[in-house]
Amino acid sequence: MKRIIILLLLIGLPITIVAQVTIYEKPEPIERLQGTWSIDLRPTPDAEGYFQPFVIENIEGNTFSGTFYGSEIKNAILNKNWPKIYFAFSTSDANSDYFHSGYMTKDQLHGMTYCPNREFAAPWTGSKE
pLDDT tens-digit readout, 67-119: 999 999 999 999 999 989 999 999 999 999 999 999 999 889 999 999 999 99
Is 105 inside any structural domain? yes
pLDDT higher than threshold 90 for residue 27: no
Number of H helices, E strands in the chain: 1, 9
Is 52 inside any structural domain? yes
Is 115 inside any structural domain? yes
Is 19 inside any structural domain? no
Is 75 inside any structural domain? yes
Nearest by Cα to 33 from 60, 52, 51, 70: 60
First to last CA, the chain: 60
The phi, psi pair for 94, rounded to 5°, reads: -60, -25
Is 110 inside any structural domain? yes
Is 70 inside any structural domain? yes
pLDDT higher than threshold 90 for residue 12: no
Is 49 inside any structural domain? yes
Domain of 81: which CATH number? 2.40.128
What is the residue range of 43's domain? 28-128
How many domains does the chain contain in total?
Answer: 1
